[in-house]
Amino acid sequence: MQCAFCGYKLNIDTKLMKSDVCPQCSRDLRCCRQCKFYDHHAYNDCKEVMAERIVDKERSNFCDHFVLRGSSQQKSNREEDARKALEALFTK
C-alpha cells in the first residue's frame, strides 16, 4: 500500500487512527482519498453505498466503512455477522 498523495510506501499492520499521518508528506491517512472505496466517478466519490457523505475527501474522518486502499484488512465483524444472518435466511 502507498500514500495516495505522495506515493510513499506504507507499512501499516494495525488499524489506522484518525490522527495518523503519512511519514513522508504528513497528510492524513484515514481519509477518503486513502480508502479503497474512493472513486471520483461514483456518487459522492464513494463506491460504498451505505457510507455517509463526507465533504472534504482529503481530511481525516470517522467513516465506518474506511478500508485502507491496497491493504488486506479484514472486514468488520458486523459485516460478517450480517452476511451470515442473510445466508441463514435463505438456507433450508
pLDDT digit string, tens, across residues 31-80: 999 999 999 999 999 999 899 999 999 999 999 999 998 876 555 556 77
User: Could you write out the three-class secondary structure of the chain?
Assistant: CECCCCCCECCCCCCCCCCCECCCCCCECCCHHHECCECCCCHHHECCCCCCCCCCCCCCCCCCCCCECCCCCCCCHHHHHHHHHHHHHHCC
8 A C-beta contact, residue 69 and residue 4: yes
Beta-carbon contacts of residue 84 (< 8 Å; ≥ 6 apart): none
| pLDDT reported for residue 78 | 63
pTM for the whole thing? Answer: 0.72
| pLDDT reported for residue 77 | 56
CA dist 48 and 91 (Å) reads: 27
pLDDT digit string, tens, across residues 10-30: 988 778 899 999 999 999 999
**Structural domain total, the chain:** 1
Q: Which domain holds residue 55?
A: 1-92
